Amino acid sequence: MEFNEENKGFFINDYSEGAHTEILKRLQETNEQAQEGYGEDLHTKQAKEEIKRLLGENHSSEVHLVSGGTQANLTTLGAMLRPFESVIAPESAHIAVHETGAIEATGHKINTIPTEDGKITPADILEVLEEHEDEHMVLPRVIYISNTTEVGTCYTKKELQELRAFADEQGLKIYLDGARIGSALMTKSNDLTLKDLAALTDAFYIGGTKNGALLGEAIVLNSPELQKNFRYAIKQRGGLMAKGRILGIQFTTLFEGDLFFQLAGHGNEMADRLREGIREEGYKFLAETESNQLFPILPERLIEELEKKYVFYRWKKIDNHHTALRLVTSWATKKEKVDAFLEDLKA
Amino acid sequence: MEFNEENKGFFINDYSEGAHTEILKRLQETNEQAQEGYGEDLHTKQAKEEIKRLLGENHSSEVHLVSGGTQANLTTLGAMLRPFESVIAPESAHIAVHETGAIEATGHKINTIPTEDGKITPADILEVLEEHEDEHMVLPRVIYISNTTEVGTCYTKKELQELRAFADEQGLKIYLDGARIGSALMTKSNDLTLKDLAALTDAFYIGGTKNGALLGEAIVLNSPELQKNFRYAIKQRGGLMAKGRILGIQFTTLFEGDLFFQLAGHGNEMADRLREGIREEGYKFLAETESNQLFPILPERLIEELEKKYVFYRWKKIDNHHTALRLVTSWATKKEKVDAFLEDLKA
Amino acid sequence: MEFNEENKGFFINDYSEGAHTEILKRLQETNEQAQEGYGEDLHTKQAKEEIKRLLGENHSSEVHLVSGGTQANLTTLGAMLRPFESVIAPESAHIAVHETGAIEATGHKINTIPTEDGKITPADILEVLEEHEDEHMVLPRVIYISNTTEVGTCYTKKELQELRAFADEQGLKIYLDGARIGSALMTKSNDLTLKDLAALTDAFYIGGTKNGALLGEAIVLNSPELQKNFRYAIKQRGGLMAKGRILGIQFTTLFEGDLFFQLAGHGNEMADRLREGIREEGYKFLAETESNQLFPILPERLIEELEKKYVFYRWKKIDNHHTALRLVTSWATKKEKVDAFLEDLKA
Amino acid sequence: MEFNEENKGFFINDYSEGAHTEILKRLQETNEQAQEGYGEDLHTKQAKEEIKRLLGENHSSEVHLVSGGTQANLTTLGAMLRPFESVIAPESAHIAVHETGAIEATGHKINTIPTEDGKITPADILEVLEEHEDEHMVLPRVIYISNTTEVGTCYTKKELQELRAFADEQGLKIYLDGARIGSALMTKSNDLTLKDLAALTDAFYIGGTKNGALLGEAIVLNSPELQKNFRYAIKQRGGLMAKGRILGIQFTTLFEGDLFFQLAGHGNEMADRLREGIREEGYKFLAETESNQLFPILPERLIEELEKKYVFYRWKKIDNHHTALRLVTSWATKKEKVDAFLEDLKA
Whether residue C5 has pLDDT greater than 80: no
Q: Note the pLDDT tens digit of each residue in D296-338.
A: 999 999 999 999 999 999 999 999 999 999 999 999 999 999 9
Chains touching chain D at 3 or more Cβ pairs under 8 angstroms?
Answer: A, B, C
Chains touching chain B at 3 or more Cβ pairs under 8 angstroms?
Answer: A, C, D
Structural domains in chain B, CATH included, are 9-16+260-346 (3.90.1150.10), 21-257 (3.40.640.10)
Classify residue A29 by burial, with Cβ atoms within 10 Å: 0-12, 13-18, 19+. exposed
Residues from chain B contacting residue C36 (CB–CB below 8 Å):
none
Q: Mean pLDDT score of chain C, rounded to an integer?
A: 96
Any C CB within 8 A of D229 CB: no
* B83 closest CB neighbour out of C79, C139, C240: C79
Give the whole-angstrom CA distance, residue C212 versus residue D197: 38
Give the whole-angstrom CA distance, residue D294 versus residue B179: 49
For B246-299, give the DSSP string. Answer: HHHHHHHHHHHSSHHHHHHHHHHHHHHHHHHHHHHTT-EESS---SSEE-EEEE
Helices vs strands, H then E, count in chain B? 15, 14
Q: Note the pLDDT tens digit of each residue in D38-76.
A: 999 999 999 999 999 999 866 799 999 999 999 999 999
Q: Do B86 and D97 touch (CB under 8 A)?
A: no
Q: Note the pLDDT tens digit of each residue in C175-217.
A: 999 999 999 999 999 999 999 999 999 999 999 999 999 999 9
Give the whole-angstrom CA distance, residue B219 versus residue B39: 13
Pick from C67, C74, C230, C313 the residue to mutate for testing the D interface (most D CBs within 10 Å): C67
Half-sphere exposure in the Cβ direction for A106 (13 Å, CA) = 32
Judge if ipTM > 0.90.
yes
Q: What value does the CA radius of gyration of chain B take, rounded to a whole number of Å?
A: 21
- The alpha-carbon gap from D28 to the nearest alpha carbon of chain C, in Å, equals 7
Query: Region B30-43: what's the mean pLDDT?
Result: 96
State the pLDDT at residue B3. 61
* A16 closest CB neighbour out of B13, B35, B73: B35
Grade residue A1 by pLDDT with cuts at 50, 70 and 90: very low
Per the CB < 8 A criterion, the answer to whether B71 and A238 are in contact is yes
Give the whole-angstrom CA distance, residue D125 versus residue D109: 15
Give the whole-angstrom CA distance, residue A184 versus residue A197: 12
* C238 closest CB neighbour out of D1, D209, D238: D238
Any D CB within 8 A of B109 CB: yes
State the pLDDT at residue C222. 96
Contacts of residues A256-261 at CB distance under 8 Å and 24 or more positions apart, as own/partner, are A256/A46, A256/A50, A259/A20, A259/A22, A259/A212, A260/A182, A260/A206, A260/A211, A260/A212, A261/A182, A261/A185, A261/A186
**Which residues face A298 on adjacent strands?**
A323
State the pLDDT at residue A204. 98
Rounded alpha-carbon distances, angstroms, from residue C66 to A103, C17, C205, C233: 28, 20, 10, 11
Residues with Cβ within 8 Å of C30's Cβ and at least 6 positions away in sequence, in order, are C43, C245, C249, D18
Share of chain C above pLDDT 70, in %: 97
Residues from chain D contacting residue C36 (CB–CB below 8 Å):
1, 3, 16
Q: Note the pLDDT tens digit of each residue in C108-153.
A: 999 999 999 999 999 999 999 999 999 999 999 999 999 999 999 9
State the pLDDT at residue D4. 58
3-class SS at C91?
Answer: coil
Grade residue B1 by pLDDT with cuts at 50, 70 and 90: very low
Give the whole-angstrom CA distance, residue D112 versus residue D93: 8
Half-sphere exposure in the Cβ direction for D135 (13 Å, CA) = 19
Q: Do C105 and A105 touch (CB under 8 A)?
A: no
> Residue C45's closest CA among B138, B84, D4, D71?
D4
Count of positions (residues) in chain C: 347
For D128-143, give the DSSP string. Answer: HHHH--STTS-EEEEE
For D85-99, give the DSSP string. Answer: EEEEEETT-HHHHSS
Any D CB within 8 A of A301 CB: no
DSSP code for D209:
G
Residues from chain A contacting residue B236 (CB–CB below 8 Å):
99-102, 105
Query: Exposure pattern of B102-113 as b/e (b: 16+ CB <10 Å)?
Result: bbbbbbbbbbbb
Q: Do C84 and A100 touch (CB under 8 A)?
A: yes
* B136 closest CB neighbour out of C82, C84, C235: C235
Residues from chain B contacting residue D108 (CB–CB below 8 Å):
101, 104-105
Pick from D22, D236, D245, D309 the residue to mutate for testing the C interface (most C CBs within 10 Å): D236
Classify residue C131 by burial, with Cβ atoms within 10 Å: 0-12, 13-18, 19+. exposed
**Which residues face A326 on adjacent strands?**
A313
State the pLDDT at residue D243. 98
State the pLDDT at residue C56. 85
Whether residue B327 has pLDDT greater than 80: yes
SS (H, E, C) C158-209: HHHHHHHHHHHHHCCEEEEECCCHHHHHCCCCCCCCHHHHHHHCCEEEEECH
Q: Note the pLDDT tens digit of each residue in C52-110.
A: 999 986 669 999 999 999 999 999 999 999 999 999 999 999 999 999 999 999 999 99
State the pLDDT at residue D6. 63
- The alpha-carbon gap from D95 to the nearest alpha carbon of chain B, in Å, equals 10
State the pLDDT at residue A5. 63
Q: Do A86 and C101 touch (CB under 8 A)?
A: yes
Grade residue A4 by pLDDT with cuts at 50, 70 and 90: low
Q: Note the pLDDT tens digit of each residue in A66-83.
A: 999 999 999 999 999 999
Q: Do C84 and A104 touch (CB under 8 A)?
A: no
Query: Region C36-43: what's the mean pLDDT?
Result: 97
State the pLDDT at residue A6. 63
φ and ψ at B181, to 5 degrees? -65, -30
Grade residue C1 by pLDDT with cuts at 50, 70 and 90: very low
Type of residue found at A115: T
For C96-131, give the DSSP string. Answer: HHSSTTHHHHTT--EEEE--SSS---HHHHHHHHHH
State the pLDDT at residue C347. 75
Helices vs strands, H then E, count in chain D? 15, 14
Give the whole-angstrom CA distance, residue A209 versus residue A187: 19
Whether residue A345 has pLDDT greater than 70: yes
Whether residue A229 has pLDDT greater than 90: yes
Per the CB < 8 A criterion, the answer to whether B224 and B193 are in contact is no
Any D CB within 8 A of C8 CB: yes
Grade residue C254 by pLDDT with cuts at 50, 70 and 90: very high
Grade residue D8 by pLDDT with cuts at 50, 70 and 90: confident
Whether residue A49 has pLDDT greater than 70: yes
Grade residue B247 by pLDDT with cuts at 50, 70 and 90: very high
Whether residue C337 has pLDDT greater than 50: yes
Residues 79-108, chain A: which have Cβ within 8 Å of B? 99-102, 105
Of all residues in chain C, the one with the smallest CA distance to B85 is C232
- The alpha-carbon gap from C339 to the nearest alpha carbon of chain A, in Å, equals 33
The continuous run of DSSP H or E covering D174 comes out as strand D173-177
Any A CB within 8 A of D21 CB: no
Grade residue D245 by pLDDT with cuts at 50, 70 and 90: very high
State the pLDDT at residue A7. 76
Rounded alpha-carbon distances, angstroms, from residue C38 to A135, A185, C136, D16, D148: 29, 60, 42, 10, 21
Of all residues in chain D, the one with the smallest CA distance to A241 is D136
- The alpha-carbon gap from B135 to the nearest alpha carbon of chain D, in Å, equals 7
State the pLDDT at residue D324. 96
Grade residue D1 by pLDDT with cuts at 50, 70 and 90: very low
Q: Mean pLDDT score of chain D, rounded to an integer?
A: 96
Type of residue found at C65: L
State the pLDDT at residue B84. 98
